[in-house]
Amino acid sequence: MIGRELITYPDQRLFAEAVAARTLLTMNEVLGSPDRERVDVAVTGGSDGTAILEAIGASPLLDVVDWRRVHIWWGDERFVPADSDERNERQARDALFDRLVAGGRMDDAQIHAMPADTRTEQERAHATKEETRDALRHAAAVYQSELVGELGQAAAMDVMMFGVGPDGHFASLFPDHKELLIDDPDILVAGLDDSPKPPPTRLTFTVPMITRTEYLWICGSRAAKADAMLGTFTHERDPHWPASFADARRQLLWIGDEASTSRLRA
Ligand SMILES: O=C1O[C@H](COP(=O)(O)O)[C@@H](O)[C@H](O)[C@H]1O
């Protein structure tokens, strides 16, 4: 495992602005490497993920990045219909990407959302457990094919940012759930139908996909995340603390505010 570092900002606003600036500068640095055509970034949902995307949109550094060379992916998604407000994609588009596309900075084809549940309400309501699992397996395979089609067999992100839940989950990898233990390097995306946080059906990057990232940041602000920041930062590959499985090739950071990192600094 690569060494981990903890960074603390005074409050949630400065935390979001700082992660936004770090993301933009890192994307620009990656794009500056010789022979580099594109940068691939996986974003996250939830309160911190959305605050960071809003801060990217408001950042004075927004245009240091050549957005025509940026590809956006998701580390996890709620497997619900495409128009559901629960979609991480919907929240991220509202917070940032719709504006970048409408303003001509990016093309919609650069935004790689995870598949939505295309079944009708009736089909979903009457589906057996096995039918729902089949739908999830199919959706996971579709996203994996898109990753491999775009980035090759060794598909990897340059930058991944994750929120951390109060229970220590990251992506849709939950405490003591079997998807967390997938270690087959050929399985990049998995589905689950028993998420303890609603909705129960979700898609998620697996640990092998996550840990081949260059820059990886676990982001959690506010007091509600204090236990999770402590538990995930101070354990390694502990199934009770999913984000403790985080690893990266170049940089691995836990980023919080004073309230969320209070127990780590005590
Ligand atoms: O359900 C999810 O939760 C986590 C954390 O969300 P938060 O609101 O507690 O910050 C999020 O990172 C993940 O993408 C999302 O699907």
Specify the number of domains making up the chain.
Answer: 1
Residue nearest to atom 3 of ligand 1 (CA): 46
| Confidence at residue 55, expressed as pLDDT on a 0 to 100 scale | 98
Residue whose CB lies within 8 A of the most ligand 1 atoms, among 78, 88, 222, 227, for a mutation test: 88
Q: Is residue 111 part of a domain?
A: yes
- E-state strands within the chain: 4-9, 39-43, 70-74, 76-78, 159-163, 189-192, 202-205, 215-220, 251-257
Residue whose CB lies within 8 A of the most ligand 1 atoms, among 48, 77, 203, for a mutation test: 48
Q: Could you tell me the pLDDT band of residue 12, with boundaries at 50, 70 and 90?
A: very high
Q: Is residue 52 part of a domain?
A: yes
Task: Decide if pLDDT at 34 tops 90.
Answer: yes
**Rounded distance between C-alpha atoms, residue 241 and residue 13, angstroms:** 26
Q: Is residue 265 part of a domain?
A: no
CB 261 within 8 A of CB 229: yes
Q: Is residue 264 part of a domain?
A: no
Q: State which ligand 1 atom lies nearest to the alpha carbon of 202.
A: 16
Pairing type for strands 39-43 and 70-74 reads parallel
Residue 69 belongs to a domain with what CATH number? Answer: 3.40.50.1360
Tokens standing for residue 131? 């039918």
* Residue in 227, 218, 168 with CA at minimum distance from that of residue 7: 218
Task: Decide if pLDDT at 266 tops 90.
Answer: no
- Provide mean pLDDT across the span 170-190: 98
Q: In what order do the strands lie in the sheet with 202-205?
A: 76-78, 202-205, 189-192
Higher pLDDT, 6 or 265: 6
CA of 162 from ligand 1 middle (Å) equals 8
CA of 45 from ligand 1 middle (Å) equals 5
Q: Is residue 210 part of a domain?
A: yes
Does the global pTM surpass 0.95?
A: yes
- Provide mean pLDDT across the span 114-130: 96
Q: Is residue 110 part of a domain?
A: yes
Query: Residue 152 class from Cβ within 10 Å (0-12 exposed, 13-18 middle, 19+ buried)?
Result: exposed
CA dihedral 239, 241, 247, 253 (to 10 degrees): 180
Question: How many Cβ atoms are within 10 Å of 18's Cβ, its own excluded?
Answer: 18
Q: Is residue 266 part of a domain?
A: no
Q: Is residue 107 part of a domain?
A: yes
Tokens standing for residue 186? 């050929």
Domain of 224?
4-257
Residue whose CB lies within 8 A of the most ligand 1 atoms, among 15, 44, 216, for a mutation test: 44
* Residue in 198, 204, 233, 206 with CA at minimum distance from that of residue 219: 233
Tokens standing for residue 160? 């991944």
CA of 67 from ligand 1 middle (Å) equals 25
- Provide mean pLDDT across the span 85-111: 98
Per-residue pLDDT tens digits for 143-161: 999 999 999 999 999 999 9
Tokens standing for residue 225? 């995340």
Average pLDDT score, the chain: 97
Which DSSP symbol is given to 196?
S
CB 1 within 8 A of CB 210: no
- Provide mean pLDDT across the span 24-41: 97
